[in-house]
A and B are shown apart, each in its own frame.
Chain A
């Protein structure tokens, strides 16, 4: 399902704060159609900033960023964002909207007919493994895992070809997180979206990622497949792998 067509391309992208602090420096990489590209790094490494440059919640300072071959600056910003699904930690669900209205947000601002929206909401609830009877509840009446599922459903609502996910499973307990990761992976195999996924959790990165981009202080340190990541000789990658301890893919040392 993955092919080499670049969907999101960073070319020498930098992001500098007004006070001169460089958050991202000369970042170049691409996300290919149908892959899950993990942006891995510790807090402050710039991974969330990189994500926000893609849907222009932040505007890049220099370099070029292309989405579907077109420079992000040439896109109408609203059109660009509706072309890209966005799911974040703590979800950002609207507390004053029911589950159904939250999921229907993008279709409804695009003026889909009501029956089509209702059908889409039901379809998405099934897709993310939620019972349709929660559709009239409010976010505060849901468990953390349910909220994250609604967040994913909302991001998928208008069937965008690209998904940006910023630690969407970060606030969950380990068991629920593992469930959601597994489900997300099978969902992704059905849908074939291009996903850029931010996390600081190496296990999550290895479990979900087609490829892993490691960021450190606003620079790209390495970009490898998940398997190559564990055997990389890059010192920072090694440090990262060691910090997370052994994994199932790594042989136990005697």
Chain B
């Protein structure tokens, strides 16, 4: 049985696993954005928190994904369902690029612009949402892009703990020593990563601030 006939015969299963995959990746990326961007902003305001926050996010990044799934297993509520566990783990992995890019994006806004804004009486909030976030948007989007592409790949491993997604086909194919089944999981995941990458790349370009020639 070759790859194409497997896909066509199992199109409903492939489609539903793809949706499951998208769901896990989507939710975890949204959570990482909701947590990571405020944390990134926070460490631009409290510079003393910068090092510890980045260090923790860095350490999380170095934990092998299978081990992280294992560590989280005893957690209450989270550990009850594999899907929750996968979402939490992917969120944790996605934090570093988000925190770091938010921090870098905001701190690299031209000092003259920030001084002018503060000098004219913008409050800290106004400075943030009128000046810093819009000017950092392209760098933050680059962080989301990295996080998203990494998550799509990592999410395949979540199938090892029964969280579903395209990884299920990969693990099944491995067990059956059947390349077509492996590819039926791997290729949609790769296509998903490429699509996400070009979509975010396009957004990033749109949000790049215009500079003097």
Query: Given A86-B116, A109-B126, do A92 and B121 touch, yes or no (CB 8 Å)?
Result: no
Asked whether, in the complex, the Cβ of B210 is within 8 Å of the Cβ of A138, the reply is yes
Against A, the Cβ 8 Å flags (1 = close, 0 = not) of B117-158 are 111111100100011001100000000000000000000000
Q: Within 8 Å CB of B212, what residues of A?
A: 95, 139-140
Give A111 Cβ to nearest chain B Cβ, in Å: 12
List the B residue with the shortest CB-CB distance to A151: B116
Interface positions of B (Cβ within 8 A of A): 110, 112-123, 126, 130-131, 134-135, 209-213
21 A-B pairs whose Cβ atoms sit less than 8 Å apart in the complex? A57-B119, A79-B121, A81-B119, A82-B120, A86-B120, A89-B112, A91-B116, A92-B114, A94-B117, A94-B131, A95-B113, A95-B212, A96-B210, A109-B121, A138-B210, A140-B211, A140-B212, A140-B213, A154-B120, A155-B120, A164-B119
Query: Given A57-B118, A140-B211, A140-B213, do A92 and B123 touch, yes or no (CB 8 Å)?
Result: no
Asked whether, in the complex, the Cβ of B135 is within 8 Å of the Cβ of A95, the reply is yes
Between B112, B120, B123, B209, the greatest number of chain A beta carbons within 10 A of the residue's beta carbon is seen for: B120
Give B123 Cβ to nearest chain A Cβ, in Å: 6
Query: A78 near B: Cβ within 8 Å?
Result: yes
List the A residue with the shortest CB-CB distance to B126: A109
Q: Within 8 Å CB of A109, what residues of B?
A: 121-122, 126
A140 to B169, CA, bound (A): 52
Asked whether, in the complex, the Cβ of B210 is within 8 Å of the Cβ of A140, the reply is yes
Between B114, B119, B210, the greatest number of chain A beta carbons within 10 A of the residue's beta carbon is seen for: B119
Q: Within 8 Å CB of A57, what residues of B?
A: 115, 118-119
Asked whether, in the complex, the Cβ of B113 is within 8 Å of the Cβ of A78, the reply is no
A105 to B123, CA, bound (A): 12
Against B, the Cβ 8 Å flags (1 = close, 0 = not) of A54-89 are 010100000000000000000000111110111011
A81 to B112, CA, bound (A): 16
Asked whether, in the complex, the Cβ of A94 is within 8 Å of the Cβ of B119, the reply is no
Q: Within 8 Å CB of B130, what residues of A?
A: 94
With A89-B112, A106-B120, A164-B119 already in contact, 6 other A-B pairs whose C-beta atoms are closer than 8 Å: A80-B121, A84-B119, A88-B116, A92-B114, A95-B211, A105-B120
Asked whether, in the complex, the Cβ of A92 is within 8 Å of the Cβ of B135, the reply is no
Query: A183 near B: Cβ within 8 Å?
Result: no
Query: A216 near B: Cβ within 8 Å?
Result: no
Summarize A's interface: helix, strand, loop or mixed: mixed
Query: Given A88-B112, A139-B212, A140-B213, do A96 and B118 touch, yes or no (CB 8 Å)?
Result: no
Give A72 Cβ to nearest chain B Cβ, in Å: 14
Against B, the Cβ 8 Å flags (1 = close, 0 = not) of A89-117 are 11111111000000001100100000000
Give B137 Cβ to nearest chain A Cβ, in Å: 9
Between B115, B126, B209, the greatest number of chain A beta carbons within 10 A of the residue's beta carbon is seen for: B115
Asked whether, in the complex, the Cβ of A55 is within 8 Å of the Cβ of B209, the reply is no
A81 to B120, CA, bound (A): 6
Residue from B112, B131, B134, B135 in contact with A91 in the complex, judged by beta carbons closer than 8 Å = B112
Residue from B113, B119, B126, B131 in contact with A86 in the complex, judged by beta carbons closer than 8 Å = B119
List the B residue with the shortest CB-CB distance to A154: B120
Q: Within 8 Å CB of A93, what residues of B?
A: 113, 116
Residue from A78, A95, A106, A154 in contact with B210 in the complex, judged by beta carbons closer than 8 Å = A95
Q: Within 8 Å CB of B209, what residues of A?
A: 95-96
List the A residue with the shortest CB-CB distance to B213: A140
Asked whether, in the complex, the Cβ of A92 is within 8 Å of the Cβ of B112, the reply is yes
Asked whether, in the complex, the Cβ of A81 is within 8 Å of the Cβ of B121, the reply is yes
A55 to B118, CA, bound (A): 9
Q: Within 8 Å CB of B213, what residues of A?
A: 140
Give B29 Cβ to nearest chain A Cβ, in Å: 25
Q: Within 8 Å CB of A52, what residues of B?
A: 115, 119
Which 4 pairs of residues, A with B, have the shortest CB-CB distance?
A92-B116, A81-B121, A86-B119, A82-B121
A81 to B122, CA, bound (A): 8
A96 to B137, CA, bound (A): 11
List the A residue with the shortest CB-CB distance to B123: A78
Asked whether, in the complex, the Cβ of B120 is within 8 Å of the Cβ of A94, the reply is no
A91 to B115, CA, bound (A): 10
Q: Within 8 Å CB of B135, what residues of A?
A: 94-96
Between B118, B122, B126, B210, the greatest number of chain A beta carbons within 10 A of the residue's beta carbon is seen for: B118
Asked whether, in the complex, the Cβ of A94 is within 8 Å of the Cβ of B113, the reply is yes
Q: Within 8 Å CB of B211, what residues of A?
A: 95, 140
